[in-house]
Chains A and B, each alone.
Chain A
Amino acid sequence: MSRKILILLILPMLVLGLSLTAGAEPLPEFELMTTTEGYDPIRYEAAFLIEENFAELGIQVDVQPTEFSTLIDNFYNEQDFDVAIVGWSGRVERLDPQHFLGTLHSGQTDPGGNNPGGYANERVDELFAQQEVEFDMERRQEMVYEIQEISVSEQPVNVLFYRDEVLAFNRNKFEGFQPMAGEGIYTEWLPFDVTPLTDDRMVTIGTSQEPDNINPLDSTTVWGWKFMRLYYDKLVRLTPDVEPEPWAAESFEAIDEDTIEVVLREGMYFHDGEPVTVEDVKFSYDYYMDQDFAYFRPFYQPLDYVEIVDDSTLHFHLEVPVSNFITVTMSQIPILPEHLWADIEVAQDLAPDEIPTVGSGPMKFETFDSGEYKSLSTFEDHFAADDIDIDGIDYIIYADAEGVFTGLITEEVDMNAWRLEPGHIEPAEAEDHLEVVSVPDHGYYHMTYNLRIEPFDDVNFRRAIAHAIPKDTFVDVLLDGLGEPGTSVISPANPFWHNPDVERFEYDLDRARELLEEAGYYIEDGVLHFPEN
């Protein structure tokens, strides 16, 4: 009796043991998390193309279209994913490489951080820390290049594609639109760029995205800031080539590694007639720090304090020297009028109609009716007002992209603020009065592997499967040619920082199989198996 039980126990163990020695495990099926078709059909389709190609290599992938906020939560906060297709939008301050390179830094691997895949490379960390404090642009560029080189060749993240912004404007009414990477044609230079061709000197922008609010200490959307930055001045503005140009500052200079001297431009006025002084500038930076506005924290965090040297000079003392203080912080923090804000204790508690809307920028705030309409007029006393040929900007806020498109067709609006839907591009091109422009973006869409999971921890495996991703198909078929195949996290739309010489993984399934074999993986019964030890 007991013998029978013994045999019954031993037999399965023997079988198990034999099978273990006979071969290694097959790869389990992986979940590939992507957006729903409704949210972004392109990322959705891309996932299925990847599934197909991986299947050719014997890698089983199960595509999981996930509602967007849940996807973001699983990816960043929970880090609960095998492979995920996500994207970064190209906001203007992200033209500085700091933010995107940060997604490769080992300090960002905790839940909630920007490096959920868990990539860690000492050399990358070291270079990242160096470039952060390197004021010499050429030297910083070299470091930024090297980070891209390493990260592309190690493939913790596969950058799938960069997507162009496609916009349209009425060519019979205005000319001179200058596209800018990641910004389209609705840039902060718009008032300076465009010239009216008719008597209508108001540019009308159609948009389906509206500001969440217009409180400079509470708005956390691109659409709030794209609007407000037209009526507030900043010390520095970024040119379309992403060079910092002195704006409210007449000049800026790093006098030592943690002090920046700024000379304020003379003769500037707020829209209510009060002069802009060094006190206002100091107040604005202090106020942002006091109010501790989370959204702007990365901007003011490096700052220790601002010192007024004389009537026109300020010293910005930095806690740690950071190379992008001028391009990022000074180009983002608006100059607020001290006389209107000083008495406001908690800026976030302001009711919508109590928010001061007085700035010193080239445009003057007129109206904001949520859901309907907003408006700006040209500020004639601005130092650069002579370069502005328009009287102001009207915005019509539509419920959806369909409304914006109808507005473009009926000439109710002169341009759109946000990309055209793929289905609207061709009909827009067919209209005589519309000119369609396509602008490369510095944001990117990527597939990130969870490096805590086998076999994604194996660099050879990642390098091999990089050859199985049909990037040209993404661009030619899914994007209709309006984009570029992805390489590194810094897009070619950002030419100064983009490393054009990073390794390219051509789409070639045979090469992928070859590399997998070299790394010891093998296919049995159509399923890829881990290497035998």
Chain B
Amino acid sequence: MGKGKFITRRILQMLLSYFIILTMLFFVFRLALPDPTAALVMEGLSAEEQAMVRARFGLDQPLLGQYFTYLTNFVQGELGLSFHYRAPVFPIILDRLYNTLALMIPAIIVSYLLGPLLGVFLSWKRGSRSEFAGIIGGLVLRSAPLFWTGMIFIMVFGIWFNIFPTSGMRTLPYEAAYFFDKIFTLDYLWHLFLPMMTIAIYYLGLPMLIMRNTMLEVMGEDFIELCQAKGLSERRIMYHHVARNALLPVVTQAAITIGLAVGGQVVVEVVFSWPGLGREIVQAVRTSDFPMAQGSFMMMSGLVLIMNFLADVIYSYLDPRVVYKGGKE
């Protein structure tokens, strides 16, 4: 099977998976969340007035009818009307998505730059005390709950030392006509630091440990011995030969992490009051805002699928065996 065929097949698989995801999203939210209009009674709305509201959101239709409307709308690029905001979902999600990415991308870059480098270092220092400390440290950081780290950061740097802000993306009040006005400032970086570090520290452990483990595996392979026999320097072997081959699992992991990152780190966004998509999802679930929750998850699942697909394609370049293994038919 050639590369072209491999890619076509992956795309078809991806579309099928997405359709299944869309269907599940629709039914899961309707089963799991209570009727969003129930809360209207609390506002003192009479039965007739509640019916008006139901009709407006199409909630008076039978479930299957709602499902087909949902699919047709999706194909037409319509994600529906938020029950809570009473406005189209898509622009709201997009706005939150930018904010989330503005937090997650720096966090991922920091963790996936530092992580693998530390991983190489640990495998190099195999058996030493620094390796031991590194592994323990990595596991501890990976296991510490994010909200806890976040709250400790807020307490120490925000309240005790009072050197970092504890919430939001910008010092208020501000005026920013465009999104980029908002993030290309020192003030933004200052606000970014604590939440970004909270996430980066958490993400760091995984690529570091994966890198270390695969490095050790690769170091045992024959071609490394060959390299040593050729008389290459230790450094050259480590970075050019071992690291390159050990990078593959890290790439996969990075792709998945980036895909999931779109949903934001819900907990970090709440702890630091970051106006991102994760916080929006929490609210959508709390208010039974189906369209909003669906839209956010559609966006997230779509990106996870795309990132996985890209990872597979990149993989086929980094390690040609992937494609040919699949081609034994």
Contact = CB atoms under 8 A, between A and B. Distances in A.
Interface residues of B, number: 53
A372 B275 contact: yes
B161 to A, nearest CB: 11
Given A112-B41, A403-B273, A372 B87 contact: no
A422 interface: no
Contact of B41 (A76, A202, A400, A409): A76
Contact of B270 (A112, A113, A400): A400
Given A294-B49, A351-B87, A370 B275 contact: yes
A351 B52 CA distance: 20
Contacts of A89: 42
- Nearest first, the 4 closest Cβ-Cβ pairs linking A and B are A371-B275, A112-B47, A69-B34, A73-B38
B92 interface: yes
B169 A372 contact: yes
A68 B34 CA distance: 9
Given A70-B34, A297-B49, A370-B275, 7 more contacts: A213-B86, A352-B85, A397-B273, A399-B271, A406-B166, A406-B167, A410-B159
Contact of B172 (A77, A372, A400, A410): A372
A367 B174 CA distance: 10
Given A73-B34, A371-B279, A400-B270, A113 B46 contact: yes
A406 B275 contact: no
B38 A69 contact: yes
A155 to B, nearest CB: 23
Contacts of A297: 45-46, 49
Q: Number of contact residues on A: which range applies?
A: 35 or more
Contacts of B279: 371, 399
A172 interface: no
Interface in B127-177: 154, 158-159, 162, 165-170, 172-175
Interface of B: 33-36, 38-47, 49-50, 52-53, 56, 84-88, 91-92, 95-96, 154, 158-159, 162, 165-170, 172-175, 269-275, 279-280, 282, 288
Contacts of B41: 72-73, 76-77, 112, 114
A372 B42 contact: no
A400 B166 CA distance: 13
A410 B168 contact: no
Contacts of A410: 158-159, 162, 166
A406 B159 CA distance: 8
A403 B34 contact: no
Contacts of B45: 294-295, 297
Given A351-B87, A371-B279, A399-B273, A394 B49 contact: no
Q: Which of A69, A373, A402, A410: most chain B Cβ within 10 A?
A: A69
A110 B47 contact: yes
B38 A70 contact: yes
A103 B168 CA distance: 42
A294 B273 contact: no
11 contacts: A215-B86, A297-B45, A297-B49, A351-B87, A352-B87, A370-B92, A371-B275, A372-B168, A397-B275, A403-B272, A410-B162
A298 interface: yes
